[in-house]
Amino acid sequence: MKVNGDAMDNETKIKNFLNSNHGYILTSDFLNLNISKPLIKKYLDKGIIKKVSHGIYIDSNLLVDDEYVFQLRYPNAIFSYQSALSLLGLINESPKTK
């Protein structure tokens, strides 16, 4: 049985992790912090985090960076051509999607 101190300790752990990890936290990070999967929904409901993709959450006060989320989901992906030029700031337009 958890007492209120444990719950606040978990919230503190989550907020500290978010601050040191660009505002993002993965399900595996929750588990490494000894926070069980069912508690993730509690923190979603409390508005501490929001879900951006399967297993990827962000601080609810931040905007989602789609390219960063893509890289988290697909760590072996390589940006090339117009995407790479746009990310490097070498062209002013964003890549078009079809």
Residue 87: predicted pLDDT: 82
Q: Does the pLDDT of residue 1 top 50, yes or no?
A: no
Q: What is the CA radius of gyration of the chain?
A: 17
Q: How far apart are the first and last CA of the chain?
A: 52
Is 36 exposed, middle or buried, given 0-12, 13-18 or 19+ CB atoms closer than 10 A?
exposed
Q: Which domains does the chain have, with CATH numbers?
A: 4-61 (1.10.10), 65-98 (no CATH)
0.95 surpassed by pTM: no
Q: Are 49 and 27 in contact (CB under 8 A)?
A: no
pLDDT one-digit tens code per residue, 53-85: 999 999 999 999 998 999 999 999 988 888 888
